[in-house]
Structure 1
Amino acid sequence: MLNKWNRREFLQKTSAATLAAMAASAPIPALLSGCSGAGNDKTKLVGQRGTADTVILIWMAGGMAHTETFDPKRFTPYETGMEGNRVLSTFKSVPTVLDGIHFSDGLQSIGKVMDRGTLIRSYVAADMGHILHSRHQYHWHTCYEPPQTVAAPHIGSWIAKELGPKNPVIPAFIDIGQRFTVGEAEELKAFHTSGFLGNEFGPFFIPDPSQGLESVRPPVGMDARRFERRNQLYNELISKSPMRDYGSDYQKESLRRSMEQAYRLLNSPEAKAFDLSKEPKDVYDRYNTGKFGLGCLLARRLTEQGARFISVTTEYEPFKGWDTHENGHTRLEEMKCQIDGPISQLILDLEKTGHLDRTLIILASEFSRDMMVEGRPDAKVQEQVQQPDVLTDPKFYGMHRHFTDGCSLLMFGGGIKKGFVYGKTADERPCKTIENPVRIDGIHQTIYHALGINPDTQYEVERRPFYTTPDGKGKAVMDLLM
């Protein structure tokens, strides 16, 4: 109800919100000048069709310790009064399906499907002076170190832009599991954006997969006629907002298409893909370890319906989940229970339906952790974190400090080698990468290569080229591909 406002006043009052939305999707100079792509109208294939059509990013938000998960070292059980520098792994190692390759206890199910994928034990996160979740999450998802004068697009937005939707009804880029009402909300929003690429390539958010259907249907109590009228009013609002005068033709058209896509989904039969109640109870129960597990189930359903890029996260919330600044051992026991079954089940289910061959799955985290060493051992700037040299309380037993010099990633399907291990970290502290280091531009270009996206892809923003990886220098790690 508008109360005493007339229609013109209402539009004036709400125009600021529209201008803010414009700023979030691209910097003002880019809006005024527009942006143009290099080879926008060509298929951007690297000589041939790529080996993957869909990407699922399984994001272990908060800093997953490599020595406690996929790269275990010497196990040392807890004893009151023990020296902290003795502890490299707080879990025993268990064998995987690959000869001689072990995981940390609690990840047996994922270990059983490693013959379908590649284990990377040598990811090295950037040295940006301060090792902060916000900076490293931004860097991982966009390939650009913050701050930037241009809003760098999320990798999912690049993929949505370059390849377009597989199914015109299903959003090309879907983000599952992350709320923006928790700590560091603005930092999280900073990289969950399509940047200068346009609104239509931004993420479709589903914070809670158990309520996925609510995300794609009109609010309760709103009939179809009322919803249609509201959609018309929203279009009119945009046409009389600052977007009309200050937005580029490209940006206005992108916003219009994003609205059309959302409207089309709300009225489509494909919306049922978001309804987890349609799953048989036994299947639902196999995934249901909580919000993350159900996110994997929803990712499977959306892959089958033609989503292009899906991110499923354990959710970043400070001092929760993988953000183990204390109680590292007990926290990881809980996290492994959340992820082990659903991830392995997702791989098996996609394999069974024939989707795994064309679906690239990546499991990653912003950085690793160590008990005694903060960050990069030889860095000039070190974070000062209180950590006792002698452990007098079980809450100090575990990997608590941010560590960037050795991290683990998993990759499955979509042209990735099967049963393959790449890279190595040292067996003694600091357990840093000693063979075949991999950095984020290499990971991104490997993903783009698998999808058939040209490594030279670029757009002109603020009169300078903006590439998928900084300066267009990223190279795919060809050893990871079949």
Structure 2
Amino acid sequence: MDKNNSNQRREFIKKMGAASLVAASSSIPAASFLSSCNKPAPVNTKADAVVLLWMAGGMAHTETFDPKTYAPFEKGMESKSILSSFPKVPTIVDGLEFSEGLESIGSVMDKGAIIRSYKSADLGHILHTRHQYHWHTCYEPPQSVQVPHIGAWIAKELGPINPVIPPFISMGQRFTVGEGEELKAFHTAGFLGSEYGPFLIPDPSSGLESVRPPQGMSLKRFEARYKLYKELANRSQVMERGSDYQRESLMRSMEQSYRLLNSPESKVFDLTQEPQEKYDIYNTGRFGLGCLTAKRLVMNGARFVSVSTEYEPFLGWDTHENGHTRMIKMKELIDGPVAQLIKDLEESGHLERTLIILASEFSRDAMLEGRPGKTVKDQARHQPDIIEDEKFYGMHRHFTDGSSILMWGGGIKKGLVYGKTADERPCSSIENTVVIDQIHQTIYHALGIHPETHYTIEGRPFYTTPDGQGKPVLELFA
């Protein structure tokens, strides 16, 4: 047997069980303690689906959607003079300005809202994966049970719109990069069961490969291998450790992947079917093609789709050096695809019932690390007080006291600016501060998931937000 073909086939089998294999090994001990859910009557729904556009790595709010005073680069300038390294540009909404390079997203802000007062949690030592875990699960790590991703909660409570399309799909993040194991920790359904975990597509440009056998393998041969795989998985040591609920959930996850393989809906991942002019707008890289795939998925009945710019230490939005030049590239990556996603979903009639969120784990600053008055380890690469080299021009330090979140569709008010940060350093939230449990409950509110929804884990109720105390930001809704 050809060694390369053998490796490809093994990799395909892994993909078929992606949703289960990421979640199952970490969640089985907790799943043994899962008991019935208190499911109050649903509230009025404003959305059927969610698309999360994840700016992984810490997107500086003053360089993107909440620009401050522009300070152009000059040799010998002081770091403290840098509040924004980009000039402001107008958006379609009167009085709302973004930073240069985000003109396309600015052109669709009459269809959505911006929160300018999100404050990340104070988790002590700042680590990207800790804050990403907190954003995606609403729980601070570590936890005694495996906590579900928000997409898994939604998949569990609402189920699929189209029974063939996995209800929770995550695109763009690889787990072979730095901190990969930490990233896996929140890409899971946890105690809810493997069938609600993410269908993982690391590279949307090859998404079709996730739902078909490797080249050279006939469907009949694949079906035989799939049957054998199910038998092996059901007898495996991992499954022997799990509860009946967890075993059944894993098998349902595998069956769901198999249904997708054999369905006409699998063509949703075939991006060659898109008109060339649309494809070219989206084709800025893996994130842009992820936005294109997200559009196609929503239009074919996806429930929750996450598209990440991908977190890899010191790359992407993780701008510890060359902050200004890196920001130029990141804006080019997201500006066209995000705006086109909004336009296409509106044109097709799907935007009204699809809640789209653009967010990051925290922001950045040129001088402060963390937040004012909270001493944490300075994890930025050395940035001198006097800048002689342009690689030090920009936002390099983690900042958790103010950030921006954009929302469209799903009943969100159009043209709304909610909250405010200070115009001078520290550019902290000073009006209508929003925290993570409010974001989660705002999403659940749009979908009609009651805030008191919970399961009993290890003898205690486990809510969608800690202790069931989260409240939606109702002012965001029309």
Q: How high is the TM-score relative to the length of structure 2?
A: 0.94
Asked whether 1:111 is paired with 2:106, we answer yes
Q: Which amino acid aligns with 2:49?
A: T
Which residue pairs with 2:158 in the alignment?
Answer: 163
Equivalent of residue 351 in structure 2, options 344, 351, 356: 356
Deviation at 1:247, TM superposition (A): 2.1
Q: Which amino acid aligns with 2:401?
A: D
Equivalent of residue 236 in structure 1, options 231, 241, 259: 231
Which residue pairs with 1:96 in the alignment?
Answer: 91
Deviation at 1:381, TM superposition (A): 3.0
Q: Which amino acid aligns with 2:473?
A: V
> Could you list the runs of 4 or more consecutive aligned residues of structure 1 that deviate by over 6 angstroms after TM superposition?
19-22
Partners of 1:194 and 1:203 within 8 A in 2:
yes
Partners of 2:24 and 2:250 within 8 A in 1:
no
Which residue pairs with 1:407 in the alignment?
Answer: 403
Seen in structure 2, the aligned counterparts of structure 1 residues 462 and 225 have a Cα distance that, compared at 3 Å, is same
Asked whether 1:33 is paired with 2:33, we answer yes
Which residue pairs with 1:474 in the alignment?
Answer: 470
Partners of 2:117 and 2:419 within 8 A in 1:
yes
Q: Which amino acid aligns with 2:424?
A: E
Q: Which amino acid aligns with 1:436?
A: N
* Counterpart Cα distance in 2 of 1:20 and 1:168: 21
Equivalent of residue 45 in structure 1, options 42, 46, 58: 42
Deviation at 1:240, TM superposition (A): 2.1
Matches within 5 A, 1:409-428: 409-428=405-424
Equivalent of residue 140 in structure 1, options 112, 135, 143: 135
Deviation at 1:34, TM superposition (A): 3.5
Which residue pairs with 1:8 in the alignment?
Answer: none
Seen in structure 2, the aligned counterparts of structure 1 residues 87 and 317 have a Cα distance that, compared at 3 Å, is same
Q: Give SS of 1:305's match.
A: coil
* Counterpart Cα distance in 1 of 2:286 and 2:25: 28
Equivalent of residue 61 in structure 2, options 41, 62, 66: 66
Seen in structure 2, the aligned counterparts of structure 1 residues 375 and 224 have a Cα distance that, compared at 3 Å, is same
Partners of 2:152 and 2:192 within 8 A in 1:
yes
Which residue pairs with 2:144 in the alignment?
Answer: 149
Deviation at 1:23, TM superposition (A): 5.4
Partners of 1:324 and 1:399 within 8 A in 2:
yes
Deviation at 1:291, TM superposition (A): 1.2
* Counterpart Cα distance in 2 of 1:161 and 1:267: 23
Matches within 5 A, 1:342-421: 342-383=337-378, 385=380, 386-421=382-417
* Counterpart Cα distance in 2 of 1:349 and 1:229: 40
Equivalent of residue 432 in structure 2, options 429, 436, 456: 436
Seen in structure 2, the aligned counterparts of structure 1 residues 21 and 335 have a Cα distance that, compared at 3 Å, is closer
Partners of 2:164 and 2:263 within 8 A in 1:
yes
Equivalent of residue 192 in structure 1, options 187, 193, 199: 187
Which residue pairs with 2:119 in the alignment?
Answer: 124
* Counterpart Cα distance in 2 of 1:277 and 1:213: 10
Q: Which amino acid aligns with 1:116?
A: K
Deviation at 1:308, TM superposition (A): 0.3
* Counterpart Cα distance in 1 of 2:25 and 2:468: 24
Deviation at 1:111, TM superposition (A): 0.5
Which residue pairs with 1:16 in the alignment?
Answer: none
Unaligned ranges ≥5, structure 2:
2-19
User: How many residue pairs were aligned?
Assistant: 459
Which residue pairs with 2:289 in the alignment?
Answer: 294
Q: Which amino acid aligns with 1:33?
A: F
* Counterpart Cα distance in 2 of 1:356 and 1:320: 32
Q: Give SS of 1:292's match.
A: helix
Deviation at 1:32, TM superposition (A): 3.0
- Say which is worse superposed, 69-78 or 219-228, in terms of deviation: 219-228
User: In angstroms, what is the RMSD of aligned CA positions?
Assistant: 1.5
Which residue pairs with 2:178 in the alignment?
Answer: 183
Unaligned ranges ≥5, structure 1:
2-18
Seen in structure 2, the aligned counterparts of structure 1 residues 22 and 282 have a Cα distance that, compared at 3 Å, is closer
Partners of 1:117 and 1:413 within 8 A in 2:
yes
Q: Deviations over 1:13-64 (max 9, x none)?
A: xxxxxx9877534251x3333432112xx7x411x3x100000000000000
Q: Give SS of 1:339's match.
A: helix
Deviation at 1:232, TM superposition (A): 1.3
Q: Which amino acid aligns with 1:304?
A: M
Deviation at 1:161, TM superposition (A): 0.4
Which residue pairs with 1:24 in the alignment?
Answer: 25
Partners of 1:32 and 1:246 within 8 A in 2:
no
* Counterpart Cα distance in 2 of 1:322 and 1:20: 29
Deviation at 1:170, TM superposition (A): 0.5
Which residue pairs with 1:7 in the alignment?
Answer: none
Q: Give SS of 2:306's match.
A: strand
* Counterpart Cα distance in 1 of 2:212 and 2:292: 20
Seen in structure 2, the aligned counterparts of structure 1 residues 99 and 250 have a Cα distance that, compared at 3 Å, is same
Deviation at 1:178, TM superposition (A): 0.8
Matches within 5 A, 1:195-274: 195-242=190-237, 245-274=240-269
* Counterpart Cα distance in 2 of 1:25 and 1:52: 31
* Counterpart Cα distance in 2 of 1:195 and 1:331: 35
Q: Give SS of 1:361's match.
A: strand
Q: Deviations over 1:194-228 (max 9, x none)?
A: 10111100001111111011000112111121111
Asked whether 1:172 is paired with 2:167, we answer yes
Seen in structure 2, the aligned counterparts of structure 1 residues 21 and 138 have a Cα distance that, compared at 3 Å, is closer
Which residue pairs with 2:17 in the alignment?
Answer: none
Q: Which amino acid aligns with 1:234?
A: Y
Deviation at 1:384, TM superposition (A): 5.3
Partners of 1:25 and 1:196 within 8 A in 2:
no
* Counterpart Cα distance in 1 of 2:82 and 2:238: 57
Partners of 1:77 and 1:90 within 8 A in 2:
yes
Seen in structure 2, the aligned counterparts of structure 1 residues 192 and 384 have a Cα distance that, compared at 3 Å, is closer
Deviation at 1:461, TM superposition (A): 1.1
